[in-house]
Amino acid sequence: MVDEIKKNIAEILPEIIDFRHKIHMRPELSFEEHETAALVCSVLDKYGIEYRSGIAGTGVLGIIKGEKSGAGKTLLIRADMDALPVCEKSGCAFASEKEGVMHACGHDIHTSTLLCCAVALNKMRGSFSGTVKLMFQPGEETTGGAEPMIKTGVLENPKVDSCVALHVEPSMKVGTAGFKSGPFYACPDEFDIVIKGRGGHAATPQKCADPLIAAVQIITAIENLPTRLLSPLDPAAVSVCMVNGGTAYNIIPDSVHIGGSVRVFSDADRDTIENAIGKTANNICAIYGAECEYEYRRLFLPLINDKNTTELLKKSAEKYLETQMLSEPTMAGEDFSYLTDAVSSSALFWLGCTEDDCEGYPLHSERFFASDKCIEYGAEIFCDYAINFLN
Ligand SMILES: [Zn+2]
Ligand SMILES: [Zn+2]
């Protein structure tokens, strides 16, 4: 089976690498992936793979039906298609032609890998039963395209039994893959605190309700909340990333805005931190006679990988490249979490994307670069897992 998978992928690979260069040069922001989706559809058309397009905006769902008789399970493999508002400085030969838009998170690799896997699996459909759904989703970098696609019913008819995905990882070399069961990505929530005081002269603070002194104390207090309110064994971060207020050296302002992010791995920890930030902000404001408006927005769910699926993916991967178990989760967010939440036998793994003589700039960096070679490895792992899972 390994040789057949390798052969089928090698046959399509040059075409897919061209495709990758094309979409890398023409990156599109979240929910604007029109050209990318059209290119995906044109490849699916060419190889006679059935699909539906225009799902939750620009999403595409390809469908391959196995021709072997058997249990008839359904596997969904997911790729995200969107790019970021970054000016590319990677220096690569197929750099973005669009000023200020770049595939700086490697979603061009994810899309190409899934397409490569799709064409190879379609050729091998005689060797498995059941159904493979190919989910090309929009908008991972902003509000998320996975949840809206699920709401249109992509997990039903036939009902999906397992979901898998990969993310490229620049701290790991090409030819390696990393696996983690259990908590893998945090929820990337956001909050805003607007402190409404009463401004006035710098020389008479007693006549004002100073929002700045309240802001300073709120920041110190809320960044410390996880250390006292959550278990020391629960990874968590509260990071204030914006503070805006004040216009002159001698004026106490009327108001200050604080904005930031909360990263935790469970709903219980989320509830605790959401409530505690509100209480802290209100109580500190009250001391100084200021008022407080607080808004907490829950974004993606935390991503929890299924242990058994992670082990099966790793077993497939071991046939094609070097593998390792990752010891720590990441505090980043990932909307594949809606799929792991909806379908318990699901997991995402990391695929090393940095070539030996390259530096490995981080995801979202203007210098981020992922090697073409990832596509082959990623597609091999997906194909191998698909055939094993469906039989
Ligand atoms: Zn990203
Ligand atoms: Zn990403």
Which ligand is nearest the CA of 363, by number? Answer: 1
Taking ligand 2, which is a single-atom ion, which protein residues have CB atoms under 5 Å away? 105
pLDDT per position as a tens digit, 254-301:
999 999 999 999 999 999 999 999 999 999 999 999 999 999 999 999
Together in a domain, 17 and 50: yes
* Predicted pLDDT of residue 265: 96
Together in a domain, 14 and 104: yes
* Cα radius of gyration (the chain): 24
* Domain C-terminal end among 270, 297, 324: 297
Helix (H, G, I), strand (E, B) or coil at 372: coil
Which ligand is nearest the CA of 336, by number? Answer: 2
Together in a domain, 201 and 237: yes
Which ligand is nearest the CA of 109, by number? Answer: 2
What is the rounded CA–CA span in Å between residue 120 and residue 2?
Answer: 12
The two three-digit tokens of residue 289, written as one number: 């006679």
**Distance, CA 167 to ligand 2 centroid (Å)?**
6
**Distance, CA 71 to ligand 2 centroid (Å)?**
34
pTM over 0.75: yes
Q: How many folded domains does the chain comprise? A: 2
Together in a domain, 288 and 230: yes
pLDDT per position as a tens digit, 297-334:
999 999 999 999 999 999 999 999 999 999 999 999 99
Taking ligand 1, which is a single-atom ion, which protein residues have CB atoms under 5 Å away? 105
**Distance, CA 365 to ligand 1 centroid (Å)?**
10
Mapping DSSP onto H, E and C, the string for 156-199 reads CCCCCCEEEEEEEEEEEECCEEEECCEEEECEEEEEEEEEECEC
Together in a domain, 142 and 286: no
Together in a domain, 228 and 336: no
Domain hosting residue 282, numbered range: 187-297
CATH code of the domain covering residue 137: 3.40.630.10
Which ligand is nearest the CA of 84, by number? Answer: 1
* Predicted pLDDT of residue 69: 87
**Distance, CA 190 to ligand 2 centroid (Å)?**
18
Together in a domain, 150 and 290: no
- The neighbour count for residue 224, using CB atoms within 10 Å, is 12
Q: What is the mean pLDDT of each run of 10 residues along the chain (391 residues)?
A: 97 98 98 98 98 98 94 94 97 96 98 98 96 98 97 97 98 97 96 98 98 98 98 96 97 98 96 98 98 97 97 98 97 97 98 93 97 98 98 92
